[in-house]
Amino acid sequence: MPVTDFLERNAKLYRDEVALVGLNPDEKDTRRISWKESDLIQPTSFTPFRREITWGVFEEKANRAANMLLGRGIKKGDKVAILMYNCLEWLPIYFGILKTGAIAVPFNFRYDSDEILYCVELAEVDAIIFGSQFISRMEVIADKVAKGRLMIYVGDNCPAFAESYMELVSDCSSQKPDIPLTDDDLAAIYFSSGTTGFPKAILHKHRSLMQAAEMEQKHHATGRKDTFLCIPPLYHTGAKFHWMGSLVAGSKAVLLKGTRPETILKTVSDERCTIVWLLVPWAQDILDALDRGDLKLSDYHLERWRLMHIGAQPVPPSLIKRWKEYFPNHDYDTNYGLSESTGPGCVHLGMENTHKVGAIGVPGYRWECKIVDENGQAVKNGDVGELCVKGPGVMECYYNDPKATAEVLKDGWLYTGDMAMVDEDGFIFLVDRKKDVIVSGGENIYPVQIEDFLRRYDKIKDCAVIGLPDRRLGEKTAAIVEIKEGMQCTAEELEDFCLELPRYKRPKEIIFQEIPRNATGKIEKPKLRKMFGADMLVAQENKG
């Protein structure tokens, strides 16, 4: 069963109920559109942009997109890229692509022109649908992209090198296209985050999408009365598949543009959100604003908010402890996953297991896990090894890259590249990325453990630990530290704080620097290593 069946079911059962709300508090609405998309409400000069569509309109939009693509020659197995910011057109276009039997290929909106072209060619894209914010980037590569490909533009003032999406769909049927789909049909290509190099194209079947959707609904008990707040970009598997819990439940979701603490709390309050997925930096910002008194919980209606969950990166236990002090009635969950495993949830803590905060959890719905040594043999509890997962959400392959595929897919198991351990109760603890492990003087040092420790210091907003070249030790541990707004901190006081750590784990260098994170909240350690590692190595060679 493809996930498109859920959309069709919702359109029949809940046709006039709100499915999606698009909200941008920083953009003023020039017109206010109701769910019928025909009733115009005169806005005031202070009206923020807010649109909503029902399940019925969602289904009709998806069908029009599908019929438009079919009419332009797209067929089953072709690949259609989406390069757009979150908006109310994003998901209908995504589902429209799926309804044609084509493969949906979401692009990271941070890609520059060269990266867009690289991904277009890697995934052998047949069409690209892009938004107004990407005109200049697309214009640079238009001649190369346009060779044998459709270029479709969503927005006003269509550029000469593309076709207008709105004009193309205006006369298309809103009826479901007659394209049979099965779990074994190819569905989507997602790109790895690129934190370890150029992104890889990750191919999934419809089976993976269904697994992710049903798992999300089960893990978080998403029901008809829930409202999910979605802030991260929809191109990312995390955002999209967390939203699919709402798709399975037939409940409302809010697509919010903006990550300021006051924006998030006001949206939860105004839209009566019940489930919120946050990235670590956003949760940290909310807590810091509350600590400073910039925000007061009494100013908001937050009584319906029942669950805060976090994923996409290791979560400091100290953050959750602070969160529960402000929100003692919240359920909490953390979700682990990769785009290769259809996003979050192949391992999850579980709302009933907050006593195990610090663990990433246990195998998710329909998933198996094991931790192995360098020879692929299972390690005993308490020992560190590589986390491997197996289940119906594992990718088919890295598209057009059999060598890379063979390195991570072995006998149905996905080798994640993450180092982990299992405790005596069967809970999995993430230790670090395999490629991020620092080998200093023959000792393996796991940066996440040091980062968790440093975040306990009340002046630290964010931190990242990396290895820098060292002639004697091979690598030395360096802590990149970002201090909270309005606070002062010295390297000496952090060195004193770190005396609690074993000597070999203490940072040998402390650097005060803003921590770079990508759109999904992951620390961009290759960027930090490039910023500091190469310079250090050159300096040492010059001294020698």
pLDDT digits (tens, 9 = 90+) for 302-325: 999 999 998 766 677 888 999 999
- 446 pLDDT more than 50: yes
Within a domain: 151: yes
CATH number of the domain bearing residue 312: 2.30.38.10
Within a domain: 225: yes
- 293 pLDDT more than 90: yes
pLDDT digits (tens, 9 = 90+) for 43-63: 444 456 899 999 999 999 999
pLDDT-derived band at 40 (thresholds 50, 70, 90) equals very low
Within a domain: 480: yes
Interior CA angle at 274 toward 62 and 88, to 5°?
25
**What is the per-residue pLDDT for 418?**
87
Q: For residue 530, give the DSSP letter.
A: I
Within a domain: 298: no
**What is the per-residue pLDDT for 315?**
76
Same domain for 451 and 347: no
Same domain for 488 and 408: no
Same domain for 330 and 229: no
Within a domain: 251: yes
Same domain for 351 and 326: yes
Same domain for 134 and 47: yes
Same domain for 453 and 366: no
- CA 334 to CA 358: how far, in whole Å? 9
Same domain for 445 and 429: no
pLDDT-derived band at 397 (thresholds 50, 70, 90) equals very high
pLDDT digits (tens, 9 = 90+) for 401-430: 999 999 999 999 999 988 899 999 999 998
Same domain for 341 and 324: yes
The CA-atom distances, in angstroms, between 366 and each of 60, 204, 246, 374, 386 are 33, 17, 19, 26, 20
Full-model pTM: 0.82
CATH number of the domain bearing residue 210: 3.40.50.12780
Domain boundary, last residue among 433, 449, 464: 433
**How buried is residue 210: exposed, middle or buried, by Cβ count under 10 Å (0-12/13-18/19+)?**
buried
Mean pLDDT, all residues of the chain: 88
Domain boundary, last residue among 378, 401, 433: 433
Within a domain: 285: no
Strand ranges in 13-108 using DSSP code E only, listed in sequence order: 18-28, 32-33, 40-41, 48-54, 79-83, 103-106
What SS3 class is residue 129? strand
Same domain for 420 and 459: no
**What is the per-residue pLDDT for 112?**
85
Q: Which two tokens stand for residue 387?
A: 């986390």
Q: How many domains does the chain have?
A: 3
pLDDT digits (tens, 9 = 90+) for 141-157: 999 998 889 999 999 99
Higher pLDDT, 444 or 351: 351
Within a domain: 152: yes
Interior CA angle at 286 toward 283 and 290, to 5°?
140
Residues of the domain holding 392 = 306-433
- 543 pLDDT more than 50: no
pLDDT digits (tens, 9 = 90+) for 335-355: 988 899 998 899 999 999 988
**How buried is residue 460: exposed, middle or buried, by Cβ count under 10 Å (0-12/13-18/19+)?**
buried
Residue type, 461: K
- CA 230 to CA 47: how far, in whole Å? 21
**What is the per-residue pLDDT for 408?**
95
The CA-atom distances, in angstroms, between 240 and each of 49, 316, 378 are 22, 24, 33
Q: State percent of the chain over pLDDT 70.
A: 90
Tally of residues, the chain: 544
**Whose CA is closest to 62, among 139, 149, 172, 185?**
172
pLDDT digits (tens, 9 = 90+) for 96-136: 999 999 999 999 888 889 889 999 999 999 999 999 999 99
Same domain for 478 and 365: no
Same domain for 232 and 106: yes
pLDDT digits (tens, 9 = 90+) for 494-536: 999 999 888 888 999 999 989 887 766 677 777 887 788 644 4
**What is the per-residue pLDDT for 314?**
66
CATH number of the domain bearing residue 520: 3.30.300.30
Q: How many CA atoms lie within 13 A of 537 on its CB side?
A: 11
Mean of pLDDT values over 280-308: 93
Same domain for 205 and 92: yes
Contact call for residues 266 and 272 (beta carbons, < 8 A):
no
Domain boundary, last residue among 232, 258, 284: 258
Within a domain: 272: no
Mean of pLDDT values over 449-465: 88
Secondary element (H or E) of residue 284: helix 280-292
